[in-house]
Amino acid sequence: MAKILIVKTGGTFAEYAASHGDFENWTATGMGLAPDQWECVNVQAGRTLPAPNGYAGAVITGSHDMVTDRLDWMRDTEAWIRRAVEAGLPMLGICFGHQILATALGGESGFHPNGLEMGVVDIAVTEAGREDVLLGPLAPSFKGNMAHSQTVLRLPENATLLATGSHEPHQSYRVGKHVWGVQFHPEFNADVIRLYRRDQRDKAIAEGRNPEALRIEAADTPKSATLLKRFAAYCLTR
């Protein structure tokens, strides 16, 4: 059976990853995959991505890097994304992955004009999203975990908007039949959000800002987490 490829574009804080696993582990666990059903390529570390044919699907992870950094590995990943789309590979981009997918396919990503969004937010499924194989079961609305300062500013021309929110207008989109981007983190749980909340509080203190102004809710979001298993099922049974 063909495996699902996890394209690692970054990782969480090293100390936390050492005891709790990293983005690729959380994603594979969320998809319900056995160890022999997935493999990971760390493109941030300079690893070369394999040819997209031969895989059942691919997930592009989040990252602490910014799409606007335009590093060499990002350009190489964008070129691979375009080849993967041409090859018909199902793909799911999460947060940074959502943004680099959009950039690779003709959209635009950059800093959100209204700044950081973090914690649990309400996400609304669009009319088109209600018919989507991944987003449809989440309709009409669901809660998702967020941790981002960049966003998809402009969707690719042929993208379909699937979900939106009060802060983030492009919570999810689909390009073609089975290339999805989600700005929210279906692989995050409450503990992960608490970790990022602590990081933001530390940064606020270091910058002389009031950390109490950071009202960041942390909670599990089990409804949004189901999206990962649906993506895996779609890839492995189509």
55: CATH: 3.40.50.880
- 81, 47 in Cβ contact below 8 A? no
User: What local confidence, expressed as pLDDT, does residue 118 receive?
Assistant: 85
User: What local confidence, expressed as pLDDT, does residue 86 receive?
Assistant: 97
199 part of a folded domain: no
Residue 24 CB partners (closer than 8 Å, separation 6+): 6, 8, 40, 61
Tally Cβ neighbours within 10 Å of residue 201.
Answer: 16
Catalytic positions are 95, 185, 187
Total domains in the fold of the chain:
1
Taking residues 40-48, report their average pLDDT: 97
pLDDT at 6 over 70: yes
163 part of a folded domain: yes
User: Which domain range does residue 60 map to?
Assistant: 4-117+146-188+224-237
129 part of a folded domain: no
pLDDT at 120 over 70: yes
User: What local confidence, expressed as pLDDT, does residue 207 receive?
Assistant: 59
Confidence grade of residue 173 (pLDDT, cut at 50, 70, 90): very high
User: What local confidence, expressed as pLDDT, does residue 211 receive?
Assistant: 53
How far is Cα 84 from Cα 106, in angstroms, rounded to an integer?
Answer: 15
Taking residues 191-202, report their average pLDDT: 82
Q: Of 90-94, 146-150, 203-207, which has the strongest mean pLDDT?
A: 90-94
The chain-wide mean pLDDT, for the chain, equals: 94
137 part of a folded domain: no
Taking residues 108-122, report their average pLDDT: 92
pLDDT at 203 over 60: yes
158 part of a folded domain: yes
218 part of a folded domain: no
184 part of a folded domain: yes
User: What local confidence, expressed as pLDDT, does residue 205 receive?
Assistant: 59
User: What local confidence, expressed as pLDDT, does residue 108 receive?
Assistant: 98
Portion of the chain with pLDDT greater than 90, in percent:
84
Task: Find, among 45, 61, 33, the residue nearest to 188 by Cα.
Answer: 61
User: What local confidence, expressed as pLDDT, does residue 216 receive?
Assistant: 72
Taking residues 72-82, report their average pLDDT: 98
User: What local confidence, expressed as pLDDT, does residue 1 receive?
Assistant: 75
Provide φ and ψ at 120, rounded to 5°: -90, 130
87 part of a folded domain: yes
